[in-house]
Amino acid sequence: MNNISYKRAQSVETAIEHIGSKKESSRFIGGGTNLLDLMKYRVENPEHLIDINHLDLSKIENSDSGGLLLGATKTNADTAYHELVEEQYPLLSEAMLSAASAQLRNMATNGGNLLQRTRCFYFYNTSTPCNKREPGSGCSALKGFNRIHAILGASEHCIATHPSDMAVALAALDATVHISGAEGDRTIAATDFHKLPGDTPHIETNLEPGEIITGIELPEKGFAKNYHYLKVRDRPSYAFALVSVAAAIELENNTIKDIRVALGGVAHKPWRKPSVEKEFIGKEANTENFEQLADKLTDGAKGYGNNDFKIPLVRKSIVRALTEAMNK
């Protein structure tokens, strides 16, 4: 059994101070729905836990830019059911309510949701090689049981996927993540928050050591009329996505004025290509164009045996999600 120290932070500043020079061996803990699992499996073995549940980061309020600011320690359940989120950003609410179970959503925090780690079987099995867990040891999933693994943006070092539903919707909505650290405050676009694996799959986000997420800002435009979150999984609840699609369209008559498509379950981060979306602005919203968009968005997709089925599945899912969004 490892000895663990515990401190309850009363402000963002003291939370950062508590981390201090112990960044590598310390972890912030909110709901703990992922961190405690990682500790039980000995995947992570922190020596210091800093409790951030008493920070003033649990509000949902209007932002200066006309959007909405979601506090980092607000629970997923309270966020998804919040009146302003349901009314102005129903795509996000829909995505969050498709995640995990009601019990977990009641504990999990918004900041923690973005920081949850992959559900790769080999990552959780400390007896197998995993570059994400032990850099340089190899990727067991490449030639192992890889049914749930990535088909886009992967590398020879890692084919794991990011499990968050919330992050996929945030990517589609062009949200911004607010961060504080010893060097001050900054923001990162939700689309840039997570990293592709490359040759450093153990570095999963663009957070610097010791930094803390303080909030997530949604822009004014919420696509509240034409949207859909489609999650394809093995069972109706408490299952991670094999493929998910956050689709949002702004229509003028039947012409695409704006369109967003973000994918989950297929890459190391939510997968989105704004350059592809722009090609379809001004075009008619129909099945033919949705199929072309799906092909372009998944160009270069590669299966690893057990997950080959994901390639046609994700393309069909994109068309279905966009069709559902158009017909709302």
301 — pLDDT class (breaks 50, 70, 90): very high
The pLDDT of residue 303 is 98
Tens of pLDDT along 129-185?
999 999 999 999 999 999 999 999 999 999 999 999 999 999 999 999 999 999 999
238 — pLDDT class (breaks 50, 70, 90): confident
1 — pLDDT class (breaks 50, 70, 90): low
What is the pTM for the complete model shown?
A: 0.97
Q: Which residue has the tokens 């799906």?
A: 294
312 — pLDDT class (breaks 50, 70, 90): very high
**Measured distance CA(310)–CA(298) in Å, rounded:** 11
**Measured distance CA(159)–CA(157) in Å, rounded:** 7
The pLDDT of residue 166 is 98
The pLDDT of residue 267 is 98
Q: Which of these CATH numbers, 1.10.3720.10, 3.30.390.50, 3.40.309.10, 3.30.710.10, describes 227-326?
A: 3.30.390.50
Q: Could you tell me which of 316, 303, 189 has the C-alpha nearest to residue 263?
A: 316
Tens of pLDDT along 77-93?
999 999 999 999 999 99
**Helix, strand, or coil here: 131?**
coil
Instruction: Determine phi and psi for 306, rounding to 5 degrees.
Output: -65, -25
The pLDDT of residue 236 is 86
As a whole number, mean pLDDT of residues 296-314 equals 98
Position 278 pLDDT exceeds 70:
yes
The pLDDT of residue 57 is 98
Tens of pLDDT along 209-230?
999 999 999 999 999 999 999 9
Q: Where would I find the H helices in the chain?
A: 12-19, 35-40, 76-80, 83-88, 90-97, 102-105, 110-115, 121-124, 166-173, 190-193, 274-279, 287-297, 310-326
Position 21 pLDDT exceeds 90:
no
Q: Could you tell me which of 54, 55, 51 has the C-alpha nearest to residue 6?
A: 51
As a whole number, mean pLDDT of residues 197-220 equals 97
Position 55 pLDDT exceeds 70:
yes
Position 58 pLDDT exceeds 70:
yes
Tens of pLDDT along 178-191?
999 999 999 999 99
Q: Mean pLDDT of all residues in the chain?
A: 97
Is the dihedral angle over the CA atoms 180, 181, 185, 191 positive or is it negative? Answer: negative
